[in-house]
Amino acid sequence: MVFAAAFLVAWRGVAAGSASSTAGTPPAAGAAAAPAQAVKPMTPAKDGWPDTPAGAMARLWVAAFSKGEEAMRACLTGNLAPSSLATRGLEERLATYRDSHEKFGTLTLAAIEKSSPEEVEATLLAADLTRHRFVFKVEPEEPHRLVSVSRIETISVPGHAGFHH
C-alpha cells in the first residue's frame, strides 16, 4: 500500500501585511455614507481563470512561465509586491524558474480548485500532461501585486499506509 503525503513547496512565500479597515465604523454625524463598493463576481473568464485579482495575476504568471525567462523576468519585475521581492531577490526567483521550466516546460490551466479575490488554487498541466497544483496569492489592496506562488505536490511513500500485523 502507498501513503500519500502532501507538502507545500514555497516559491515566493511571504505573509501578506494586514490592511487596516474602517468597515465597522459608523460615519460621523451629518456625514454622507460612502457608497458601497461593488463586489466583483468570481465567475470564470473565457479562458477558465476566475475573474478576480488573483485569477488575473495567476493567468499572467502562467502565460509568462510558458513563454520563457524574458517574459517571466518582466512579469516578476512588474508585478511582485515589494515586500515579497525584499524577502527573495529576482535572480534567486529566476533560478527557481529555470529549474521549474526545465521540469514542466509549459503550463496550462486544467482546473480551478479554490478561488477568492486574493487567492487562487489551480491545477495546471505540464507539457508532459502531468498535473500540478499551484496557489497564487495577491495583495488585498490595489494594484493587487503578486505576493506568492506556491506549488503543492503529493508524494507517495511506499509501505506507510495501513497497519501490518
pLDDT, tens only, 100-140: 999 999 999 999 999 999 999 999 999 999 999 999 999 99
Q: Establish if 18 belongs to a structural domain.
A: no
Q: Establish if 25 belongs to a structural domain.
A: no
Under 8 Å CB-to-CB from 145, ≥6 apart: which residues?
57, 79, 80, 81, 82, 84, 138, 139
For 8-43, the DSSP string reads EEESS--PPPPPP--TTPPPPTTPPPPPPPPPPP--
Least confident of 35-44, 46-55, 146-155: 35-44
Rounded to two decimals, the pTM is: 0.69
Burial 61-97 (b: 16+ CB within 10 A, else e): bbebbbeeeeebbebbeebbbeebbeebeeeebeeeb
Into how many domains does the chain fold?
1
**Enclosing domain of residue 96:** 2-13+47-158
What would the pLDDT profile of 137-160 be if each residue is shown by its tens digit?
Answer: 999 999 999 999 999 987 766 665
Least confident of 18-32, 44-58, 73-87: 18-32
What is d(CA 127, CA 131) in angstroms, rounded to the nearest whole number? 10
What is d(CA 35, CA 20) in angstroms, rounded to the nearest whole number? 19
Task: Say what the pLDDT of residue 51 is.
Answer: 95
What is d(CA 130, CA 114) in angstroms, rounded to the nearest whole number? 20
The residue written with cell numbers 503543492 in the block is 152
Task: Say what the pLDDT of residue 25 is.
Answer: 35
Nearest C-alpha neighbor of 150 from the set 6, 4, 3, 5: 6
Q: Establish if 132 belongs to a structural domain.
A: yes
What is d(CA 59, CA 42) in angstroms, rounded to the nearest whole number? 14
What is d(CA 55, CA 73) in angstroms, rounded to the nearest whole number? 20
CA dihedral 149, 154, 157, 162 (to 10 degrees): 130
What would the pLDDT profile of 7-19 be if each residue is shown by its tens digit?
Answer: 333 333 333 333 3
Cell matching residue 80:
511582485
**CATH code at position 143:** 3.10.450.50
Q: Establish if 87 belongs to a structural domain.
A: yes
Q: Establish if 26 belongs to a structural domain.
A: no
